Structure 1
């Protein structure tokens, strides 16, 4: 097999695609030497082969981002092999080169799945421009996928907020951790903002220009989770009619956020551990190893050490993830931030809902401080959103049953507050219909409106 390999050169000068792996297939040794000499100093590594058969053998065991392929080869032609590669699910870029071509040949090459078509002889700038063009196509395709995913998964919140000591310490930790590339484990109750912190870590890191890919491990089918994460080859399992890249691929150069990581089945935990330690993945049903260039941030609302003790989580994976451990405080431990958070959510949500901002009175704020907040910041945000829709602070929604009621010593006993809570509860039950609410309360609509006006609410 006439195959050679050149490792990356320290003088990588072509900005934008230094991590690419390139396979050159040409039966002319002079052309191989020229392309290898041109590309080896400017990319991750370069491989070369003298025939389609040799190139196919190399691809069976290695990951390749780009194939530069001569049309006229001994044995199988470049166009025939390209068609086979696409049928087998190869998703990388392909540049076809030839010394003898006409319009029909060029059309056939593009229909076969070529990314570009170059006539020999060509100069260094031509091949470099062609490779950079392919890199941009690949990058845009990946970014489009990430953007489509972000539209449905982004939490739509601002930066990490709060002036309490707990939140100031958290921001300090984020600043320190973002500067390194280590794996991070975020622990905290549901609703404390773990994805928000993960996005902050990404935005402040050296990978900020790369993609941020969030993955809800609890929301993936156990049967397909390995394929979703690592991708699969054509025919890897029933229904795999074509090859597919996994989420690890789309996070290359950026950050992969594995939320609810405690939900991963034990066999997948073992595969994930190997990927983190070896810095490569193997798609399901494939023999190719794909090198990784990303940062992993994991999150869980469980205590992972307890999961390890119970045998539900691998100890070695836990230690590998816990290189840096950040624990997010529940809202009940930094209630001093409630006013700031509520104001932020009002400013953020009112314009998008098309309603007037809300004014929260001191009495209402006291209620917010008395509450235990089992749903944390997410619950506060949901409360503000419902209240904006109804036109008044929906405090009664915090006390639907005894299980969520505050301690009896903190329940208000003054008549004014109890009257207000009752009126708000009735208004909510009739979706803000003041006429119907007045009938249920046994008062006139004018009396009800006067009461509501006294609270500064519409």
Structure 2
């Protein structure tokens, strides 16, 4: 469809830095428009492919990944609007900017409903296109950032993110983190449950060149085998029962940053092969989709299992194990960390006493010795829960540490039963709210049984 050429750009504009912008596909039946956009965007260091019809564009997408499409509405054969609807139906994850010489209010409304990121009238200046692309890039960045921040805020319960301790085992671990972090290689973190493997993953992220980009964590054991593929790669509307709308996956939101896969040994075998393919090809395909999408993500995995034994037993793919274990970091259990236990207990005491609104407890030499001598089968998580329970009840449960019951009370002389009961109720309800009402998850976070939590909720009429 013939239309006026865009207004001339400033031919003196210098070429900009190498490709940092989105990979762009231009679809327009006018050769002048295609050449103008290709030349102008490539001069800015972006990679551009130009085709003359929706059919050619669809054929290009079968073989290549693009971030953004600049699409003319009036095309021979299938119109731009029709193809835009098909693109979103097939799971295309990028933005589409529509251009047209013949626009009215109805066309604009239909374009927005079809999912267009912008609508630009011909003739246009290149600055209009560049500005529209910039808005798309910024919107995508903010969507990813907001998603990650919401997950972090929902998960955070007041403890710091830094690795605490000065034992030889921890100093060795910190030195390895500093050495490995700048590398783009995958890392496998090994350690018992509760030792702080996610803290190590976060340290790797913050010390890498990806530190300004998202850090996204997923506990593979916490998502059902039927849903974990959609959680990682996203899904289209109607891809499975209950998929009432399309949703992007964690690989999308971690783009440019780090994806932490905790308890990787729990990943179903069928999904292990798909994860291996993503690690090798750096592309994902949403559940129910046909279009593969490029991803730039560093994967850090963690396990409390012996993955070599899992490989020997046929429960974990050998090729995926070697792909993940480019570098292996072992997080020592708390029983091997000596006086770090006391330092961690004091750190938790300061953080949790403020959060719970109660006075801190004293840690005397006798208690210090008991803390260091305790085997800590639940590791740092067990220590944190012990300190939290001690604050709630006003004294340390010394019998749990092998000492005679008796008590180390708060600096203020203890709290009466009614105050403690109210503090306990307020704290449990806060944790339950943070867990989205999921009692099983809240019970795990509190270090109590589900039955105990159910009884408390019944008492309070919750």
Q: With structure 2 as the length reference, what TM-score do the two structures score?
A: 0.80
- Equivalent residue for 1:126? 128
Over the residues paired in the alignment, what is the CA RMSD in angstroms? 2.8
Counterpart in the other structure of 2:231: 228
Change beyond 3 A, Cα 1:44–1:272: farther
What's the CA shift for 1:152?
2.5
Pair 1:86–1:423, CA change in 2 (3 A): closer
Distance 1:266 1:87 in 2: 29
1:65-113 Cα shifts (integer Å, max 9, x gaps):
2111112222333233323434444442121112233444334433332
| 1:331-387, Cα deviation, whole Å (9 max, x unpaired) | 100121112111111121111111112211111112212211001111111111111
Deviates more, 1:228-237 or 1:331-340: 228-237
CA distance in 2, matches of 1:299, 1:44: 37
1:29-72 deviation per Cα after TM superposition (whole angstroms, max 9, x unaligned): 11111111222354663222212232233334543321111122
| In structure 2, distance between residues paired with 1:420 and 1:120 | 82
1:309/1:48 Cα in 2 relative to 1: closer, same or farther (>3 Å)? same
Counterpart-to-counterpart distance in 2, 1:422 and 1:131: 63
Counterparts of 1:181 and 1:433 in 2: how far apart (Å)?
Answer: 49
Gaps of 5+ in 1: 1-10, 400-410, 413-417, 435-458
Q: How much does 1:241 deviate?
A: 4.6
For residue 188 of structure 1, the aligned residue among 180, 191, 198 is: 191
Report what 2:446 is aligned to. Answer: none
**What does residue 142 of structure 1 align with?**
144
Q: Distance in 1 between matches of 2:17 and 2:378?
A: 50
Check if 1:80 corresponds to 2:99.
no
- Tell me the equivalent position of 1:307: 310
| Contact residue 230 and residue 246 of structure 1 kept, 8 A | yes
1:422–1:72 distance in 2 versus 1, CA, 3 Å: closer
Of the three residues 155, 178, 182, the one matched with 2:181 is 178
Q: Establish whether residue 272 from structure 1 lines up as the match of residue 258 from structure 2.
A: no
Name 1:403's counterpart in structure 2.
Answer: none
Aligned length: 404
1:231-246 aligned at under 5 Å gives the runs 231-246=234-249
Alignment of 1:356-375 (within 5 A): 356-375=359-378
Residue segments in structure 2 that go unaligned for 5+ positions in a row: 1-13, 422-462
**1:13/1:384 Cα in 2 relative to 1: closer, same or farther (>3 Å)?**
farther
1:211 is the counterpart of 2:214: yes
Cα gap change, 1:83 to 1:283, in 2 (>3 Å): closer
Change (3 A) 1:433 1:60: closer
CA distance, structure 1, for counterparts of residue 177 and residue 408 of structure 2:
43
1:431–1:264 CA distance, 2 compared to 1 (3 A)? farther
Q: In the alignment, is the contact (CA less than 8 A) between 2:396 and 2:407 conserved in 1?
A: no
Residue aligning to 2:38: 36
CA 1:335–1:317: 2 relative to 1, 3 Å: same
* d(CA) in 2 for partners of 1:269, 1:231: 16
- Which of 364, 380, 402 is the aligned partner of 1:377? 380
